[in-house]
Structure 1
Amino acid sequence: MKIQKNEFLTHGGGLLEVLKIATPLILASSAHAINLFSDRVMLSWYSEKAVAGAFASGLTSFTLCCFFFGIISYTNSFVAQYSGAGANRRVGTAVWQGIFLSIIGGALVFTGWFWGEGLFNQFGHTPEVVEQEVVYFKLLCAGGILLFLNTALSCFWSGRGKTGMVMIVNILVTCLNIPFNYALIFGHWGCPELGIAGAAWGTNLSAFAGLLIYAWFFFVPKSSRRHFSTCSNIFDLELFIRMIRYGTPNGVQFFIDLASFNVFIVVLGQYGQTIQAASSIAFGLNSIAFTPILGIGQTVAILVGQAVGAGDIEHAKRSVRSARTLTLLYMGIMAILFVVRPEWILWIFSTTSPEVIRNTKIMLCFISAYLLFDGLFIVYSNAIKAAGDTFFAMVMGASLAVVMLAIPSALLSHYGYSVWIIWTVCVIYIIVAGSIFYGRYRGGKWTKMKVIENTGTLPVEQDLLLKD
């Protein structure tokens, strides 16, 4: 038993290896969550209509981005599998295909600037909130290309397990975003008072700073150019098509998931500004629990991808088990906190009306009911998709989101059911989704998949992997 415990900690794919890669990603994801949370807090201080407008429009803009985000983020799996197979000179080429997709995606997302107002006028929100939503949405659409390019370039490090760089950039972005927001939302330090537009400008300016850092360390160092071909073999049509082939299902699933969730959020907004503001705060708090687990999910994708590239499936399975343990532990703690001591966090929103806070506490109880299954969904969906099982993830994930969340939410709202019935539907959907993806992982089909070409007998460049 002692040997088994030690192996669980230190063996390849054990807790220590997972934590080594996951900790920087958790901190990076947490930094992103702090960005979102600080936006909500400052906008709640500014006005109730601003915080209400930021949630729906922010989610809508990200829903618009998430198809390309899903494709581009799949660059991570290509980098991981090439790294695991020892084909390091293919790493830079894989990242470049993500850069090309980022430029295309950024141009298409920017079109939201021109049709966004018409979309939000159909949501049934109050005119004051719609005005806020349109401003925020337009500016976030303009900054969509920054999200894409940051994602593509970050895969150069994360796919190889060098997650410290991702952590540093994300923390820096957060450290810039908070003062940018403070200055631009409220008009401090000689800046104009822009309200909700200031929050969007703060997000875009800090993202641009992060992009400059990624670009410098991808293009400039000689070691990157020499060992990973970051400035040569730029376009590879076959690889570009293959990335679209495997990444598109990932993007479609991501898009439909977020679109369905956006329907849920829009429906909540139809129950009045109080419910909409409470939802914005509740999901801002949910991001504290959810976003760090995205870091563990990324770690699963990295370790499974590298293990699949190296042909070591047992290593992949151990990594998933370790990640599951960490996920359930963290999500369990957060679920208890949200139910037993929500006031430990809600005091930040002391200027918000008591009715909003009361509804937020109820929503946190619903969130606590699905947190563990949400964690399982993140772990197991990342595991199978990293190997190449993206088609199943698309079909099943999209079907569940539409049939179990979007359609029921819209119908229940239309026929006048309580908002808490709609929240119950959301809980059931996430529990079912987590269970189904666990079953798919246990089925083992992913163990026979791979997204990269046969790399032959290339030696793994361990010295380069360790030094870089």
Structure 2
Amino acid sequence: MKLYKSDFLANDGSLLNVLRVALPLILSSSCHAVNMFMDRLMLTRYSQPSAAAALTSGLTSFTLQCFFVGAVGYAGTFVAQYSGANQSRRVGTAVWQGIFMALAGAVFMAFCCLWVPYLFAALGHEPAVEEQENIYFRYLALGAAVFLLQQALSCFWSGRGKTTMVLMVSIFVTLLNLPLNYMFIYGKWGAPEMGTAGAALGTILAALGGLIIYAVGFFALKSSRRHFGTCSNIWDWEMLCRMLKYSSPNGAQLLMDLAAFNVFILVLSLYGVKVQEASSIVFGINNLSFCPIMGIGMTASILVGQAVGAKDIPHAKKSVRNARTLMLIYMSLMMALFIFWPEIVLDPFVRTGDAEQVEVIRLAKVMLLFVAAYLFGDGLVLVYSNAVRGAGDTKYIMNLTIIMAWGVFAIPCIIMRLLGCSVWYLWGCMSFYVLLFGLFCYLRYRGGKWTKMKVIEDVD
């Protein structure tokens, strides 16, 4: 069957054209980073137990739902390849299969509320920290439906390269999130003072606002219904099975990666509340570098997906090269910031008059040096793993993640803790793992197997 190039592929894959797609996603991911940064900042200023609990319980919540995050998000690859192949009537159906997976994820997260408190109890954290961990997790788990459905509907725009819409919604969510969190955490403007619970509630309500906008654009607009079949051909068992075939490894990869990282965070928490708080601050700051590169990674996936759908591999390769260039520029700036001017990002977290926090900030400065050491590895992982997954090469990345995340990272960290090693050995292990992982993702891309893959069917 003959497939025709979409209008999108009229561009030449140049750096400027890649940036046109990437910039809204970079800014959108940056909005997410700002949300998380401000959550951590407000909770750090609110109380030490809240700050310490936010990282552990927040990461646990995301780890448990990240299989569905990866699976639901992969609907965007189907949208991209159908768009590249000019099969626009299949786009709406692809998004619907993502919606069904999002609903399944919401049910699973509600069930997790029954047993996760026992996990936190087993960690032996201070009672005040454990209490806040349970509160924060419960809100985030019950609000998972909002986050997952928002992600599913966003694929309708991101997969087609219409990333400005994603940016506009992200800005709207951030503009809601900041005042709502402030209001509910500190009890301002007539709201009750909810502390940790207020941070979660504000985040959920802001995400709900974004979900409503996406829902209106997907369901209510006549152009969406007419051109993309958003309200017809809702159920497609064959497509759902095919999507599960490719998205399940994608979700499992994210689950294994985040589970290993969660083990790292939990092991760090065993070194005391000061190390735990410093880690919470540093990973909040790390999102400033990580989340924008997620936008570049998503761009690589979108452009590869559309090019594969149109059978234009040279276009895909050129787009990936330019996505890598954007990554290197941004990561160089972040590395310089973390090494030479850490006070710029650490000073907002300082609690006035808290002498005990001096040691926390000192630890955080050292941790930022380890973050700077692995930044380029992070960038290689996000650009090249997303590039090959955009074509359908999800199983290799899943297998690589399982081997690397556990064999090189999580299990060695547990062993080092049992042997009584310093916390800096664990941070060194993390830096080595990320850099090595990035190298293997690059080698897989260079191998070229992804150029012979696709996830969509041939349509007569």
Please tell me whether the aligned partners of residues 26 and 296 of structure 1 are also in contact (alpha carbons under 8 angstroms): yes
- Partner of 2:267, secondary structure, is helix
- For 1:110, the equivalent position in structure 2 comes to 110
- For 1:58, the equivalent position in structure 2 comes to 58
Distance 2:78 2:345 in 1: 39
2:421 alignment partner AA: Y
Is 1:35–2:35 an aligned residue pair?
yes
- For 2:317, the equivalent position in structure 1 comes to 317
Q: 1:395 aligns with which of 372, 376, 399?
A: 399
CA displacement at 1:126 relative to structure 2: 1.7
Distance 1:399 1:104 in 2: 28
Please tell me whether the aligned partners of residues 82 and 309 of structure 1 are also in contact (alpha carbons under 8 angstroms): yes
2:120 alignment partner AA: F
- For 1:3, the equivalent position in structure 2 comes to none
- Partner of 1:271, secondary structure, is coil
Please tell me whether the aligned partners of residues 85 and 455 of structure 1 are also in contact (alpha carbons under 8 angstroms): no
Is 1:429–2:433 an aligned residue pair?
yes
CA displacement at 1:350 relative to structure 2: 2.2
Q: How many residues align?
A: 447
- Partner of 2:188, secondary structure, is coil
CA displacement at 1:183 relative to structure 2: 0.6
- For 1:19, the equivalent position in structure 2 comes to 19
Distance 1:123 1:438 in 2: 37
CA displacement at 1:455 relative to structure 2: 2.7
- Partner of 1:111, secondary structure, is helix
Residues 121-136 of structure 1 correspond to what in structure 2 (within 5 A)?
A: 121-136=121-136
- For 2:382, the equivalent position in structure 1 comes to 378
- For 1:466, the equivalent position in structure 2 comes to none
- Partner of 1:67, secondary structure, is helix
Partner deviation per Cα, 1:136-171 (whole Å, 9 max, x = no partner):
001100011111101110000000000011101111
Distance 2:459 2:299 in 1: 23
2:34 alignment partner AA: I
Please tell me whether the aligned partners of residues 320 and 383 of structure 1 are also in contact (alpha carbons under 8 angstroms): yes
- Partner of 2:122, secondary structure, is coil
Distance 1:253 1:124 in 2: 29
Residues 295-334 of structure 1 correspond to what in structure 2 (within 5 A)?
A: 295-334=295-334
Distance 1:246 1:226 in 2: 28
- For 2:363, the equivalent position in structure 1 comes to 359
- For 1:6, the equivalent position in structure 2 comes to none
Distance 2:125 2:321 in 1: 44
- For 1:464, the equivalent position in structure 2 comes to none
Q: 1:448 aligns with which of 425, 445, 452?
A: 452
- For 2:72, the equivalent position in structure 1 comes to 72
% of aligned pairs identical? Answer: 55
- For 1:144, the equivalent position in structure 2 comes to 144
- Partner of 1:121, secondary structure, is helix
Distance 1:187 1:114 in 2: 29
Is 1:291–2:291 an aligned residue pair?
yes
Distance 1:455 1:368 in 2: 47
CA displacement at 1:412 relative to structure 2: 0.7
Residues 404-423 of structure 1 correspond to what in structure 2 (within 5 A)?
A: 404-423=408-427
TM-score by length of 1: 0.95
- Partner of 2:232, secondary structure, is coil
Partner deviation per Cα, 1:313-345 (whole Å, 9 max, x = no partner):
000000100000110111011011101000112
Please tell me whether the aligned partners of residues 116 and 138 of structure 1 are also in contact (alpha carbons under 8 angstroms): no
Partner deviation per Cα, 1:246-284 (whole Å, 9 max, x = no partner):
000000000000000000000111100000000000010
- Partner of 2:113, secondary structure, is helix
Distance 1:236 1:126 in 2: 50
Structure 1's unaligned 5+ residue stretches are 1-9, 457-468
CA displacement at 1:124 relative to structure 2: 2.8
- Partner of 1:450, secondary structure, is coil
- For 1:158, the equivalent position in structure 2 comes to 158
1:58 alignment partner AA: G
Distance 1:101 1:284 in 2: 29
- For 2:6, the equivalent position in structure 1 comes to none
- Partner of 1:452, secondary structure, is coil
Deviates more, 1:118-127 or 1:243-252: 118-127
Q: What is the root-mean-square deviation in Å for CA atoms of aligned residues?
A: 0.9
Is 1:212–2:196 an aligned residue pair?
no
Please tell me whether the aligned partners of residues 264 and 406 of structure 1 are also in contact (alpha carbons under 8 angstroms): yes
